[in-house]
Amino acid sequence: MLLQEDEYRLDYMLGATKEILRQVNLLIAFWEENYKENFINSKDLSCTENARCLAFNQIINLLDVIRVTKIGKPTGLESSENTNINLLQAFRSKKTLHIIKSSIEEIEYTYTKSSINFSEIVDDISGSNQISNEIANSFKEIYSTIDGLNIGLYDAISNNDKKVESLYISLSKLIRFFSVDVASMLSVSVLPTDNDGD
């Protein structure tokens, strides 16, 4: 309704949408034409030239961004005791929790079901599915906590809901599984992440 009443906002939204679509298409073209085969065939010992290592580190990085930037900093659990809900990714629409859940679902898919499927590799190397089961349970715990925050992250932080800290702790636990247990099992170096907002 707001956009229909303001021609300038509508033009801005159309322009921004066209630009985002253009950039998405450029990224897809770059991947398909220039980088996909290099990534697939990267098997160097150096982690920066090894596809498995790069993909695995991206899982850890995404989880850390969610924990630190999307939950920790706005709630005051990371580097500050003060809450600042304006730091939430989508604080105006109050959809941050939906975005977080969607990102975690993608991470779980990458670990358990994708063509990379790290869980099968870990199970084969370890000779059991113990680590993958613990990770699956950790994902379930995170989803349960997210679903328990039925008022959304914005309101949960505003109301000092303890489930937010539980979500933060659950994410920390999952990150430890990946950065210690799985990384060791896969003999993958964990690259440092930088979530200071730069």
Q: What is the pLDDT of residue 103?
A: 94
The yes-or-no verdict on residue 61 having pLDDT over 50 is: yes
Query: What are residue 82's phi and psi, to 5 degrees?
Result: -95, 140
Mean pLDDT value of segment 188-196: 69
Model pLDDT for residues 93-122, shown as the tens digit of each residue: 778 899 999 999 999 999 998 876 889 889
**Residue 100: Cβ-neighbour burial (10 angstroms; 0-12, 13-18, 19+):** buried
Q: How many CB atoms lie within 10 A of CB 109?
A: 12
The yes-or-no verdict on residue 144 having pLDDT over 50 is: yes
Of 35, 181, 26, 171, give the one whose Cα is nearest residue 97: 171
Contact 149, 97 (CB under 8 A): yes
Mean pLDDT value of segment 68-83: 86
> In percent, how much of the chain has pLDDT > 90?
39
Q: What is the pLDDT of residue 2?
A: 52
The yes-or-no verdict on residue 46 having pLDDT over 60 is: no
